[in-house]
C-alpha cells in the first residue's frame, strides 16, 4: 500500500514540483519515497513495504530497459502465479515484488493485463516509446485515484489533498456534488466536491496519448451485468472461492491482523483464516463504554477465543470523537458522514500502535450477500415496477387510478384500528405501490428507501441560497439510478451494481482506505475478491437469492464453521451510538456552521440553518442533516482553507 502522484504535460518541459504532493502522502508510505522524471512527465511514490521489503521494491520502478515506468498503490494478490506465467513467456525479474510483475504483465498483454489481476490497485504506467500514460483502478474501487486536467496538463494522485497541491488555483465547490452529498452522505464517484476534480471510477482505466491530447474518457473493463451465469451448488462454489481469496489476501512479508466485530462478515474471514494462520493472526475490536446495546467487544472476544486468536480492544468515548473530529474529517479526504468512520479509525490506530501493517476487514459482505433489508425491499419493488411497466396500458391506468385513491380523505379514514387489519394491509401495500411503482418508468427503486435520503429531500428546497439552487438540476439526487427499468434483464444484479457503484465505492471503501492509511495500515478485503464476486453474481443470475433471507448463501457456507449464535445474531457490525455522537458534534462545532465558509460563500442559506439549529436544541430534531452540514463545513476548513494557508505560508 502506497501513495502515488503523476504529472504529464504537452510541453517539452514544465515547472511542477512534486515534493509537497508527496508530503501529503507520507502516511500512505512512511518506509520509502521516490521520484522520476523526464521531459513531459514526472512520477512520484511513497512506499509502505508489504511485499519484498528490500530496496528492489523501490518506486517509481522501470522495466524493459527503462521503456516502462510505474507508480503503483495496492497489491496484486496473484502475483506469484502471474510471475510464473510471465517467466515461461521469457520475462525476467530482478525483484520479488508484485510491482515488477504488474509492469511485466503490461509489457506482455497491454491493457488486457487488467483481466488477469486479482487484487486492489491504482497505478500509472508510462510508456516512453509510445508516449502514452495508462492509469487504472481495481474492480470495486478499493484503492483511490483522483485526477485533474486543463488544456496542457494532466495530474493524478492517490488523495485529494495531494492533488490540490499541484493545481494552480483551488477549484470552486460543485453545487451538484454538494447536493448529492447532502442526500447520500458522500459524493458518489466520479464526482468530487470540487469542479473539475474527478475520481477515476472503479473498474475503469484511462489511456492518455500525448499525440491525441484531450480525450479524457475513462473506459470500463468489468461490470457485474457482464458476468456469465453459473449453474451449480452455491455453498460449494462460494466456499471454494472464499477459501482461495483468504489464502491470497494473507500473502504478506509483515504481520497481519483482523478487525473483528461480533458479526458474520469479519467472523467468516477469521474462522476460515485461523486454522491455517493461527500462529500469526490476531484480532482487534472496539467498544463504547456505558452503551452495551452498541458494544460488541464481548461477542468479538468470544469469537477470537473460539478460534484461538490473540484479542485486544479499544474504547471510544464521546469526548474522544469530539476532540479528533476535525483531524478525522481531514484524513477522510472527501466528506463522508458515516459514523462507522470513528470506530474504523480507532481500531486501525490501535493495530498500528502494535506494529501491525496489514488488517483484514469484512467490508463488502453486506453489499454482496444482501445484508441490507432496504436493498432487498428496493429490489422487490423495482421488480414489481418492471412488471407494471411491461403490462398493458389499460392495466397501468387501472392501478394508477386505484393508487390515487390512497391520497384521498376516505383512504386516511380507513387507516384506523376500527377497520379490519386485512383492509389496512391492502391499503398500505397499495399506498407503497402508488408511491414507488406507478410512475417514473426510467427510475429504479434504490436510495428512496434509505432514511437519510428521504430525510434530505425535506430540506433541499430551502437549504441552499438561490444562487446555489439555480445550479442544481431538477431531480439531481435521483439521477444515479435512472435507467430504462422496463427493459432491464436482471434487476437483482442491476441493484447490486448500483450499490457497488455508489455506497460501496464512495462510502465504505473510501473511508476504509483513508482511515487505515492515515495510520499507515493496509486493509485487505477478502469478501471483495473479484473471483468470489463473479461466482456469487453468476449464481444469482440462475438462482436469485435476494428473498432467501439475510446473507443466506454466506450463512450456509459457514454452517458448522462458526458458532450458531453468530449465524443467528442480529446484524450490527461496528454500529455506533450515532444520535449521541451527532448531538455532541453539532453542539461543539455549530458556530463554525452558522458563521462558516459555506454560508459566507453563499452555498448554504444561513437563516434556514439557524432555524434548524434552534429547533434541534428545543426538540432534538434535524440531527442527521445538521451533522452532515457540520461535517461538510469542517471538511472545507480542514482540506481547502488549510491548503490555502499553507500556500500563503
d(CA 252, CA 1): 11
Q: Could you tell me which residues come within 8 angstroms of residue 110 by beta carbon, excluding any fewer than 6 positions away?
A: none
Under a CB-based contact definition with an 8 Å cutoff, are residues 581 and 321 in contact?
yes
Beta bridge partners of 122: 73, 137
As a whole number, mean pLDDT of residues 25-39 equals: 91
Give this prediction's pTM.
0.94
State the DSSP code for 562. Answer: B
Assigned C-alpha cell, 212? 491525441
Q: Please tell me the predicted confidence (pLDDT) of residue 41.
A: 94
- Give percent above pLDDT 90 in the chain: 69
**Omega before residue 134 within 30° of 0, cis:** no
Q: Which of 130, 260, 168 is nearest to 566 (CA)?
A: 260
The architecture of the domain spanning 226-370+521-568 is: 3-Layer(aba) Sandwich (3.40)
d(CA 618, CA 623): 12
In this model, does residue 587 exceed pLDDT 70? yes
Under a CB-based contact definition with an 8 Å cutoff, are residues 60 and 44 in contact?
yes
In this model, does residue 291 exceed pLDDT 80? no
Under a CB-based contact definition with an 8 Å cutoff, are residues 46 and 32 in contact?
yes
**Higher-pLDDT residue of 88, 435:** 88
Banded pLDDT at 565 (limits 50, 70, 90): confident
Edge-to-edge strands, sheet with 146-149: 32-38, 41-47, 2-9, 153-157, 146-149, 198-199
d(CA 9, CA 15): 10
87-133 residue pLDDT tens: 999 999 999 999 999 999 999 999 999 999 999 999 999 999 999 99
d(CA 217, CA 215): 6
Per domain, the residue ranges of the chain are 2-172+192-221, 226-370+521-568, 373-495, 578-648
In this model, does residue 328 exceed pLDDT 90? yes
Per-residue exposure over 470-487, b if at least 16 CB sit within 10 Å of its own CB, e if not: eebeeebbbebbeeebee
Assigned C-alpha cell, 535? 461466482
Q: Could you tell me which residues come within 8 angstroms of residue 85 by beta carbon, excluding any fewer than 6 positions away?
A: none
Q: Please tell me the predicted confidence (pLDDT) of residue 575.
A: 55
- Residue 95 phi, psi dihedral angles, 5° rounding: -125, 175
Reduced 3-state DSSP string for 445-499: CCHHHCHHHHHHHCCHHHHECHHHHCCCCCCHHHHHHECCHHHCCCHHHHHHHHH
Assigned C-alpha cell, 9? 504535460
d(CA 593, CA 586): 9
Q: Please tell me the predicted confidence (pLDDT) of residue 601.
A: 95
Under a CB-based contact definition with an 8 Å cutoff, are residues 133 and 6 in contact?
yes
Q: Which of 448, 441, 405 is nearest to 426 (CA)?
A: 405
Reduced 3-state DSSP string for 366-408: HHHCCCCHHHHHHHHHHHHHHHHHHCCHHHHHHHHHHHHHHHC
Instruction: Tell me the DSSP string of 8-61.
Output: EESSS------HHHHHTTGGG-BSEEEEEEETTEEEEEEE---S--SGGG-SSE
Q: Name the CATH superfamily housing domain 2-172+192-221.
A: Aminohydrolase, N-terminal nucleophile (Ntn) domain (3.60.20.10)
Q: Which of 59, 504, 56, 82 is nearest to 251 (CA)?
A: 82
Q: Could you tell me which residues come within 8 angstroms of residue 627 by beta carbon, excluding any fewer than 6 positions away?
A: 337, 582, 585, 586
331-361 residue pLDDT tens: 999 999 999 999 999 999 999 999 999 999 9
As a whole number, mean pLDDT of residues 437-456 equals: 85
- CB burial of residue 643 (10 Å; 0-12, 13-18, 19+): middle
The secondary structure element, H or E, covering residue 75 is: strand 68-76
Q: Which of 600, 583, 597 is nearest to 634 (CA)?
A: 597
**Higher-pLDDT residue of 223, 486:** 223
In this model, does residue 484 exceed pLDDT 90? no
Q: Please tell me the predicted confidence (pLDDT) of residue 212.
A: 85
Q: Which of 445, 255, 466, 422 is nearest to 355 (CA)?
A: 255
Assigned C-alpha cell, 399? 392501478
Q: Quote the distance between the C-alpha of residue 477 and its chain's center.
A: 18
End-to-end CA distance of the chain: 31
**Higher-pLDDT residue of 535, 15:** 535
d(CA 172, CA 598): 12
Instruction: Tell me the DSSP string of 106-126.
Output: HHHHGGGGGGG--EEEEEEEE
Per-residue exposure over 415-448, b if at least 16 CB sit within 10 Å of its own CB, e if not: eeeeeeeeeeeebeebbebbebbbeebebbbbbb
Q: Please tell me the predicted confidence (pLDDT) of residue 571.
A: 59
Assigned C-alpha cell, 443? 427510475
Banded pLDDT at 620 (limits 50, 70, 90): confident
Q: Please tell me the predicted confidence (pLDDT) of residue 206.
A: 97
- CB burial of residue 29 (10 Å; 0-12, 13-18, 19+): buried
- Residue 647 phi, psi dihedral angles, 5° rounding: -65, -45
The secondary structure element, H or E, covering residue 424 is: helix 421-436
In this model, does residue 407 exceed pLDDT 80? no
132-187 residue pLDDT tens: 999 999 999 999 999 999 999 999 999 999 999 999 899 999 999 999 999 999 99
Reduced 3-state DSSP string for 132-148: EEEEEECCCCCCCCEEE
d(CA 38, CA 612): 55
**Higher-pLDDT residue of 50, 264:** 264
Under a CB-based contact definition with an 8 Å cutoff, are residues 179 and 628 in contact?
no
- Give percent above pLDDT 70 in the chain: 97
Q: Could you tell me which residues come within 8 angstroms of residue 438 by beta carbon, excluding any fewer than 6 positions away?
A: 388, 396, 399, 400, 403
Assigned C-alpha cell, 49? 513495504
In this model, does residue 410 exceed pLDDT 80? no
As a whole number, mean pLDDT of residues 19-27 equals: 94
52-82 residue pLDDT tens: 677 888 889 999 889 999 999 999 999 999 9
d(CA 158, CA 144): 6
241-276 residue pLDDT tens: 999 999 999 988 888 999 998 889 999 999 999 998
**Omega before residue 190 within 30° of 0, cis:** yes
d(CA 48, CA 30): 6
Amino acid at each position: 500500500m502506497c501513495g502515488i502522484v503523476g504529472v504529464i504535460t504537452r510541453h517539452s518541459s514544465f515547472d511542477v514540483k512534486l515534493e509537497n504532493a508527496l508530503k501529503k502522502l507520507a502516511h500512505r508510505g512512511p518506509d520509502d519515497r521516490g521520484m522520476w522524471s523526464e521531459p513531459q512527465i514526472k512520477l512520484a511514490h511513497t512506499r509502505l513495504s508489504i511485499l519484498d521489503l528490500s530496496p528492489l521494491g523501490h518506486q517509481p520502478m522501470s522495466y524493459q530497459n527503462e521503456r516502462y515506468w510505474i507508480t503503483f498503490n495496492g497489491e496484486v494478490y496473484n502475483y506469484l502465479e502471474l510471475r510464473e506465467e510471465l517467466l515461461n513467456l521469457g520475462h525476467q525479474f530482478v525483484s520479488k515484488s508484485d510491482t515488477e510483475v504488474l509492469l511485466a504483465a503490461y509489457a506482455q498483454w497491454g491493457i488486457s493485463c487488467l483481466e488477469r489481476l486479482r487484487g486492489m490497485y491504482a497505478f500509472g504506467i508510462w510508456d516512453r516509446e509510445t508516449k502514452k500514460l495508462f492509469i487504472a483502478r481495481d474492480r470495486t474501487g478499493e484503492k483511490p485515484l483522483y485526477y485533474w486536467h486543463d488544456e496542457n496538463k494532466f495530474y493524478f494522485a492517490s488523495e485529494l489533498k495531494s492533488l490540490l497541491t499541484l493545481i494552480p488555483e483551488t477549484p470552486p465547490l460543485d453545487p451538484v456534488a454538494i447536493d448529492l452529498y447532502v442526500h447520500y452522505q458522500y459524493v458518489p464517484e466520479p464526482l468530487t466536491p470540487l469542479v473539475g476534480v474527478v475520481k477515476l471510477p472503479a473498474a475503469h482505466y484511462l489511456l492518455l496519448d500525448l499525440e491525441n491530447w484531450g480525450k479524457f474518457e475513462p473506459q470500463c473493463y468489468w461490470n457485474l451485468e457482464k458476468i456469465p451465469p453459473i449453474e451449480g451448488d452455491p455453498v460449494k462454489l462460494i466456499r471454494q472461492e472464499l477459501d482461495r481469496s483468504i489464502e491470497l489476501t494473507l500473502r504478506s512479508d509483515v504481520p497481519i491482523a483482523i478487525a473483528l466485530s461480533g458479526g458474520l462478515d469479519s467472523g467468516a474471514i477469521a474462522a476460515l483464516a485461523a486454522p491455517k494462520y493461527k500462529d500469526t493472526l490476531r484480532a482487534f475490536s472496539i467498544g463504547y463504554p456505558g452503551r452495551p446495546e452498541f458494544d460488541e467487544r464481548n461477542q468479538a472476544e468470544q469469537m477470537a477465543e473460539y478460534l484461538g486468536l490473540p484479542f485486544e480492544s479499544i474504547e471510544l468515548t464521546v469526548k474522544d470523537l469530539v476532540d479528533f473530529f476535525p483531524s478525522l474529517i481531514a484524513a477522510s479526504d472527501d466528506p463522508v458522514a458515516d459514523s462507522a468512520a470513528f470506530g474504523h479509525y480507532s481500531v486501525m490506530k490501535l493495530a498500528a500502535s502494535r506494529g501491525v501493517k496489514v488488517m483484514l476487514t469484512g467490508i463488502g459482505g453486506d453489499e454482496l450477500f444482501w445484508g441490507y433489508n432496504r436493498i432487498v425491499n428496493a429490489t422487490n419493488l423495482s421488480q414489481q415496477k418492471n412488471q407494471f411497466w411491461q403490462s398493458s396500458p389499460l392495466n397501468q391506468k387501472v392501478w394508477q387510478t386505484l393508487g390515487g385513491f390512497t391520497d384521498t380523505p376516505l383512504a386516511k379514514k380507513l387507516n384506523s384500528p376500527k377497520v379490519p387489519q386485512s383492509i389496512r394491509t391492502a391499503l398500505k401495500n397499495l399506498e407503497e405501490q402508488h408511491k414507488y411503482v406507478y410512475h417514473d418508468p426510467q427510475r429504479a427503486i434504490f436510495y428512496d428507501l434509505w432514511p437519510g435520503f428521504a430525510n434530505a429531500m425535506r430540506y433541499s428546497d430551502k437549504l441552499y441560497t438561490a444562487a446555489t439552487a439555480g445550479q442544481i438540476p431538477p431531480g439531481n439526487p435521483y439521477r444515479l439510478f435512472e435507467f430504462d427499468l422496463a427493459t432491464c434483464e436482471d434487476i437483482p444484479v442491476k441493484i447490486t451494481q448500483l450499490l457497488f457503484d455508489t455506497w460501496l465505492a464512495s462510502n465504505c471503501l473510501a473511508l476504509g482506505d483513508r482511515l487505515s492509511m492515515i495510520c499507515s495500515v493496509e486493509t485487505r478485503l477478502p469478501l471483495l475478491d473479484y473471483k468470489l464476486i463473479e461466482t456469487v453474481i453468476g449464481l444469482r443470475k440462475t438462482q436469485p437469492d435476494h428473498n432467501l433471507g439475510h446473507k443466506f448463501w454466506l450463512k450456509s457456507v459457514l454452517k458448522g464453521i462458526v458458532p450458531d449464535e453468530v449465524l443467528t445474531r442480529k446484524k450490527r457490525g461496528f454500529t455506533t451510538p450515532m444520535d449521541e455522537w451527532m448531538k455532541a458534534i453539532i453542539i461543539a462545532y455549530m458556530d463554525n456552521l452558522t458563521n462558516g465558509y459555506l454560508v459566507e460563500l453563499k452555498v448554504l442559506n444561513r437563516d434556514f440553518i439557524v432555524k434548524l439549529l434552534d429547533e434541534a436544541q428545543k426538540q432534538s430534531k434535524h440531527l442527521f442533516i445538521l451533522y452532515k452540514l457540520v461535517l461538510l463545513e469542517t471538511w472545507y476548513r480542514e482540506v481547502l482553507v488549510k491548503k490555502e494557508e499553507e500556500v500563503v505560508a
